Each structure stands twice: as structure tokens, then as C-alpha cells.
Amino acid sequence: MDEEVDISGDDGNHPSDNSPKGARMSGRVIIFDTTLRDGEQSAGTSLTPQEKLAIARQLDKLGVDVIEAGFPISSQGDFHAVQLIASELRRPFICGLAHCRPAAIDRAWEAISGAEHPRIHVFLSASDIQLAHMLKKSRQEALEMAREMVARAKGYTEDVEFSPMDATRAEPAFLFQLLETAIDAGATTVNIADTVGYSTPNEFGDLIAAVMTRVSNISRACVSVHCHDDLGMAVANSLEAVRRGARQIECTVNGIGERAGNAALEEVVMALKTRHDIFGFSTGVDTTRIYKTSRVVSDLSGFMVQPNKAIVGGNAFRHQSGIHQDGMVKEASTYEIMDPRSVGIPASSLVLGKLSGKHAFRERLAELGFSLEEEALGHAFRAFKELADKKREISDRDLESLVSEELRSKTEVYRLDHVDVSCGDHSLHSAAVRLIGPNGEVLSDAALGTGPVDAMYKVINRIVGIPNTLVEFSINANTEGMDAIGEVLIRIESDGVMYTGRGAATDIVVASAKAYMNALNRLILSKQASGEMQLPEDWSKKPGVQEAA
């Protein structure tokens, strides 16, 4: 069975109309972003509500149709983040996830009720494996739960999505019955989830085609897909699903998500655009904002993008071999299927250095998508001048590091003011550290350690006094050359939760200290959001950074 979908209607960008009819008629695939929910579920991420809001703002500018902002019943912090996003962003649909329990649905509604376009996303296991081992429910009981909980969500909002979890391993006849039940109860979107990333493009496409023909009331719902990448087929499966009738794709920026992650938004969107001849659908995404969005998510989540990652990896548009370079010089289309500018990778026309002034600095930042308030621009410019004294040429990656540092400084409860270490192969390793605390108080101390970083972390822990364990530490150079900025990424664990920290400096010891402070500050802000910790009211009076409109 390989039915082609009738591709009707124009393919221009439309305002968000996520109704089944709107989705079918517009020639447009709905992009449902779950970076803040499934992406945030990845081991090692833990974003504060403010960081989630920053990502949501960027997703809004990117033009995604639906933002799944979180799973409100899962924690106080998640609830707060979803509420914040729902109250601020007016254009996109804001979705809150809920499992099939009355309290979860009520909590999801409580979090998203302030949204202009609220959506409740109800999910329930559909495979026998999950029903038996996780829920200990029969198929009949599952049908009842789906009916009741979708109806409960419908009592709150018109827009309800239902996901049969592990749909690709469910018995198809039962899956169709479950979908029919959910649609009868009021679901306006049904989302076929390849939860464990088990399916292949052919098989998944056939399943979607079967859903389109075997679910009697399917014309009343928009068909969505949610694919995980355990076998590296999430994007291929999602695209094949579109060819066979799906009109919504769930995806995440940089493909982050549970285990091997989800279908990568940037790959899905650019495949639909570049191979419009095959798929015949467009999206509402402004592709020139993809690169910037990828950087924001990588920066805040702490997940580096691998160099060979499609679309947004550092090497994605670099041509190394002589033959390729020769072709590129003669005619870019010899080896380039996409223009890097179409995904927002800035053309490196201007190299900044020691003699560059504030005007050129501001201009280049704007080209990279950043606009800083005057005070923050002053800070970043001073840091740029200090860096230019050490490096001959300042690359775009250096500038991004400077801005990231400035962004991180906005959420500093404790600020690193000074660090001094001594080290060597026969000496004692010691560190002296001075921090500025939440009330502006100066806090200093010194310690010995097995190495300079160990000594420094001991001092910082003694001052801040929050128990935690360092579980990951890595250093990367952001560009080639001895004078590159060192970027340190660390993860610490406290009370079973993982917090990421990043820091950048030409001195890797300073970068290590900054990364540790960043992780600790995020830990403190998370505890504040969940009500476990109190902070003085005006701790955050710092200059701000805004992304360019």
C-alpha cells in the first residue's frame, strides 16, 4: 500500500490555522516544537523558567506553529515555566502535556489558560507491552481512560491533542479504535508516536496511510507524528509520514530529546523546503532564524552541536577537499544544495580586530542576530577590547562567546569577581576566590586541592554552601589556533537533578570557574522557582541582552 497524498491548495505561509481543515487546505505542514518538553527531558538538561522563556521567544520568532512548553504536573518549576510562556507569547499555540489522570489535565489547563491559543496534549500508552507493564491496564480500560480524559480536556479548551504512546508497537486494530475513541471524545489532533524509535520509513508510512483510511472519523482531526531517533530514522520517518497524510510534525531544535532525541526541526524544515519538488509542502518557519535558534538552544541546554550535524553543525557548509573547493569557487551550486544564508549562517565579510570601533562591533552583532541594550553593549565591548589585545582577529564564534557570557551574567545570583590559582607538577595546588553574593556582599576564601580546578571548586562550594557532585567536565576551543577562547561545559548533580554550566575565557581556569558558577546559579534559580529557596528581591538588577527582532 503506497497511496500518494493529494496535495491541494497553495503553499504560501499562512497564519497559524491548526484546525484539521486548515492544515489540509493550506499546503503547509504544522511545526510542533517540543524542545521545551521532550528536549528538556534529555538526560543532563534542566532549564530554569527564565531560560525556557528565552527559548520560547526565539521559537516564536522562528515561526513554529505550536510550542509544547512543558509537562505542568511534573514539577513546580515546569508549571511556572509553562504559565510564563502562555502569558507572554500571543501568536503560537501553547501546549501543556498531561498523562491520563484528572489532576494532570487540570494542572495543564491551569498552566496554559492564559494563552491566546491554548492546547492540552493528553497521552496514554497504546502498546500491550506498556499497558501491561507500566499501567497494568487492559485495552478496554485504556479506551475508557482516553475517552474520559480527552473529554475532560475538551471541557477546558477546544484544541485537544491525543497521543497513543508507543503507537508503532501497538496492535493496529486497537490503535485505530483508540484513535476513533479519542476523536469522538473531542481530540482535534491525533499524534502517532514512535516512542522508542523502532519504525522504518516504509513501515511508518504504511501505518499513517492505514490511519487515514481505517479510522472512520479521521477527517475530524489533524494527523501528527512524533518520531524518536533511536535508529537514526526520526526525520526520514516524519517526512514519509507527510507523504502519506500527516500534517503536523513534532520535532526539537538540534534534535535533542529523550535518549537519542527527536526528529530535528532544522532537518525537517530544510528537507521540506529544499525538496519541495517531492513533498509539495511548506512550513511557517523563517529559515533564516534557524542557526541563531540552534545556538540559543545549545547554549542554554548545554548540549553542543556535533560538527557534522546536518544544517547547523560547524562543518555543515564547510568544504575541505581541493576538488570541492575548486568547484565552490567556480560555482557554489556544484557542491551546495542550500545557501548557508538561507538558514541564517552569517557571511563572514567583516573580521573584527584591535582597531575595530563600537559601531563595527554593534553592526557585526546585529548581523549575527544580537542587539544589546546600551549598558550590556558597553560591557561586551570592553570584553571584546580585552580579547582583541590577546588575539589578532576576532571570529564570529568569539563574538557569540562574548554575548553568551553577557547573557549568562543576567542570571547570576553569585558573581565571580576574582580567581587566582597556583599549580605546577611539584607545587601545592591552591585557589583563592572572591564572589559577589545575592545582596552585593563580598565573599572570599582559599583552599588546597588535587589540582587548580579542584581547589577552586572546593572554595566556591565552601562559600556557596549547596551540596552537589561534579559529574561531567569538558573543555573545547571555539576556533583553531593557540589563542582560541576555551569553552568549558560542566554538569553537576544535586538532589537527583542535573544542572549544566558553561563558561568561556582565554584562560581555561577562569572559564572553568565561570562554568561552575553558571551551573550553581542555575541550580539556585531552579530551587527558587520550585519554592525550595528564597532570594533577595532585587538580586537580578543587571543590564539585559535582547535578541534582535
Query: Which of the listed partners (ligand KIV, Zn ion, none) does 527 bind, with a CB threshold of 5 to 8 Å by partner kind?
Result: none
**Is 204 near ligand KIV (CB under 6 A)?**
no
| Window 13-72: residues binding ligand KIV (CB under 6 A) | 38
Cβ distance to Zn ion smaller for residue 193 or 529 = 193
**Is 248 near ligand KIV (CB under 6 A)?**
no
Query: To 10 degrees, what angle do helices 358-367 and 374-390 make?
Result: 100
How many chain residues interact with ligand KIV (CB under 6 A)?
9
Could you tell me which of 172, 127, 120, 125 has the C-alpha nearest to residue 151? 120
Could you tell me which of 208, 303, 302, 202 has the C-alpha nearest to residue 246? 208
- Under the rule (CB under 5 A), what is the footprint of Zn ion? 38
Place of cell 521545551: 36
CB of 166 to Zn ion, least distance (A): 10
Judged by CB under 6 A, which of 123, 317, 457, 499 binds ligand KIV? 123
DSSP state of 72: G
CB of 217 to ligand KIV, least distance (A): 21
| Measured distance CA(289)–CA(287) in Å, rounded | 5
CB of 87 to ligand KIV, least distance (A): 24
Query: Which of the listed partners (Zn ion, ligand KIV, none) does 163 bind, with a CB threshold of 5 to 8 Å by partner kind?
Result: ligand KIV
**Is 163 near ligand KIV (CB under 6 A)?**
yes
| Measured distance CA(252)–CA(245) in Å, rounded | 21
Query: Which of the listed partners (Zn ion, ligand KIV, none) does 165 bind, with a CB threshold of 5 to 8 Å by partner kind?
Result: ligand KIV
Query: Which of the listed partners (ligand KIV, Zn ion, none) does 123 bind, with a CB threshold of 5 to 8 Å by partner kind?
Result: ligand KIV
Cβ distance to ligand KIV smaller for residue 28 or 228 = 228
CB of 165 to Zn ion, least distance (A): 8
Terminal Cα distance for the chain, rounded: 47
CB of 150 to ligand KIV, least distance (A): 14
Could you tell me which of 399, 408, 414, 396 has the C-alpha nearest to residue 543? 408
Cβ distance to Zn ion smaller for residue 38 or 166 = 38
Three-state SS letters, 265-282:
HHHHHHHHHHCHHHHCCE
**Is 168 near ligand KIV (CB under 6 A)?**
no
CB of 166 to ligand KIV, least distance (A): 6
CB of 68 to ligand KIV, least distance (A): 9
Residue 288 CB neighbour total at 10 angstroms? 14
Place of cell 523563517: 286
Cβ distance to ligand KIV smaller for residue 228 or 391 = 228
Query: Which of the listed partners (ligand KIV, Zn ion, none) does 168 bind, with a CB threshold of 5 to 8 Å by partner kind?
Result: none
Cβ distance to Zn ion smaller for residue 260 or 477 = 260
Residue nearest to Zn ion (CB): 38
| Measured distance CA(209)–CA(291) in Å, rounded | 34
Query: Which of the listed partners (ligand KIV, Zn ion, none) does 157 bind, with a CB threshold of 5 to 8 Å by partner kind?
Result: none
**Is 239 near ligand KIV (CB under 6 A)?**
no
Q: What is the bridge-based pairing of β-strands 352-353 and 248-251?
A: unpaired
Cβ distance to ligand KIV smaller for residue 165 or 447 = 165
Tell me the Cα Rg of the chain. 25
| Measured distance CA(400)–CA(404) in Å, rounded | 6
| Side-by-side strand order, sheet with 486-494 | 469-477, 486-494, 497-505
Whether residue 394 contacts residue 384, with contact meaning beta carbons closer than 8 Å, is answered with yes
Judged by CB under 6 A, which of 24, 107, 117, 226 binds ligand KIV? 226
- Quickly list DSSP for 315-374: TTT---SHHHHHHHHH-GGGT-SS-GGGGTPPP----EETT--HHHHHHHHHHTTEEE-H
Cβ distance to ligand KIV smaller for residue 229 or 406 = 229
Cβ distance to ligand KIV smaller for residue 181 or 248 = 248
Cβ distance to ligand KIV smaller for residue 227 or 421 = 227
Cβ distance to ligand KIV smaller for residue 301 or 468 = 301
> What are the residues whose beta carbons fall under 8 Å from the beta carbon of 152, sequence distance 6 or more?
102, 105, 106
Q: Which residues bind ligand KIV (CB under 6 A)?
A: 38, 123, 163, 165, 191, 193, 195, 226, 228
